[in-house]
Amino acid sequence: MKLLAGNSNRTLATAIAKYLDLPLTKAQVRKFADNELFVAIDENVRGEDVFLIQSTSFPANDHLMELLICIDALTRASAKRITAVLPYFGYARQDRKMGGRTPISAKLVANLITRAGADRVLTMDLHSGQIQGFFDIPTDNLLATPVLAEDIREHYSKSKELMIVSPDVGGVSRARALADRLNADLAIVDKRRSAPGQSEVMNIIGDVKGRRCIVFDDIVDGGGTLCNAATALIDAGASEVSAYVSHGVLSGQAVERVEASALKELVVTNSIEADDRVKGSEKIRVVSVAPLIGEAIRRIANEESVSKLFD
C-alpha cells in the first residue's frame, strides 16, 4: 500500500500518513513556464494499492488537472489499484442542468477521474448524495457528521437550548441527521438565491427564541448563506448562533464577512487546506478529519467494512 499526495492539502495528507504510520511516496509536481503540469513518481509503485490524496479545491482547475495527471502517471507505472481520495470534491454544486444549454460539470469531472484510470473513489460529504452515482467505479462517501457531532458535544451539548438549523431546504436531511444524533430540535431557514453568490433569508421555520443555534451546512463559500442566516436567527430571538460546516471553501471576502457577522464561531473541517486568513481568524476553528479518512483508507486496503465509520 502506498500513499501519494498532490499539492492541494499537504497538511491533511501528512496527518493521514501519520495516522496510518506510513510515509508519503516521493513524487515531484512541477510547472512549465506556460503553466503545464509535470508529475514524476520517484518510487516504484508496480503492483501497489495506491491512495492518491487530492482535494479539487481552489484553484480547482489546477488541482483537478494535477489529480488527473497523477492518476495517469500511476496507471502507466503499473499500480495495481488507484483510489482517488478527494476530501473535498469540487464542481459538486453543478450536479444538475441549471437551465437550457448548461452542463452537468459534476458528472463530467466524475467521468474524467474514471477515464484517467482511478479504480475507486473515497470522498467526504458530497454536496448531494446522488453524485456518488455519477462514478461508475466504487465510491465511498464518508460523513463528517460523527466528527463534528463529537466537537459539538464537547463545546455545546450541556445546553438544553441547543437547536440545529438547516440554512436552506436542500440541507434539511443533513441537519436532521445531526439533530437526531445530538437529540436536539431542528429549525429551517427558507433561503432564496437571486443570483449565484447572493442569498436572502425569507422565513425561519421553527421557534428559535432563546435557543443556542448551530447552523449546519456542507459548504461555506462566500459566506452569505451563513452570515445572513445568523442575522435572521438573532433577529428572531436566538441567544447565540454558531456554524459547523464540512468544507471551508471560504473564497473572496468570506473570512472578513464571517469576522464581521453575528456568528459566535465557525467550525470547518480540514478537507480544504486553511490559508493564512483562516488560520489568523479568531472566529474560525478547524477540526481534523485525518483520523476518519485514515481509518477509511486502512479499512479499504484491508477489505474491511467502512460502514462502521458512519456510526
* Residues whose CB falls within 8 Å of the CB of residue 189, separated by 6 or more in sequence, listed in order: 165, 166, 167, 168, 201, 203, 204, 205, 215, 229, 232, 233
**Residue 224 beta carbon to ligand R5P: minimum distance, rounded to whole angstroms:** 4
- Indicate the SS3 state at residue 144: coil
- Using the minimum distance from each CB to ligand R5P, give the nearer residue, 219 or 290: 219
Partners of 122 in beta bridges: 85, 140
* List of residues contacting ligand R5P (CB under 6 A): 167-168, 170-171, 197, 199, 217-225
Q: Are strands 212-220 and 198-205 parallel, antiparallel or unpaired?
A: unpaired
- Using the minimum distance from each CB to ligand R5P, give the nearer residue, 16 or 164: 164
| Mutual angle of helices 105-116 and 60-76, in 10-degree steps | 20
* Residues whose CB falls within 8 Å of the CB of residue 262, separated by 6 or more in sequence, listed in order: 227, 230, 231, 233, 234, 241
Cell (9 digits) for 52: 492518491
Report d(CA 20, CA 184) in Å as an integer: 35
Assess whether 2 carries a catalytic annotation. no
**Residue 198 beta carbon to ligand R5P: minimum distance, rounded to whole angstroms:** 8
* Residues whose CB falls within 8 Å of the CB of residue 247, separated by 6 or more in sequence, listed in order: 57, 88, 125, 218, 219, 220, 268, 269, 271, 272
**Residue 115 beta carbon to ligand R5P: minimum distance, rounded to whole angstroms:** 27
Q: Please say whether the beta carbons of 3 and 25 come within 8 A.
A: yes
Partners of 266 in beta bridges: 243, 284
Cell (9 digits) for 27: 513524487
- Using the minimum distance from each CB to ligand R5P, give the nearer residue, 2 or 191: 191
- Using the minimum distance from each CB to ligand R5P, give the nearer residue, 139 or 228: 228
**Residue 221 beta carbon to ligand R5P: minimum distance, rounded to whole angstroms:** 3
Report d(CA 218, CA 212) in Å as an integer: 20
Report d(CA 247, CA 124) in Å as an integer: 9
- Using the minimum distance from each CB to ligand R5P, give the nearer residue, 93 or 299: 93
**Residue 255 beta carbon to ligand R5P: minimum distance, rounded to whole angstroms:** 12
One-letter amino acid identity for 234? I
State the catalytic residue, choosing from 191, 264, 279, 283: 191
**Residue 218 beta carbon to ligand R5P: minimum distance, rounded to whole angstroms:** 5
Number of H-type helices and E-type strands within the chain: 9, 14
- Using the minimum distance from each CB to ligand R5P, give the nearer residue, 2 or 174: 174
Catalytically annotated residues: 191
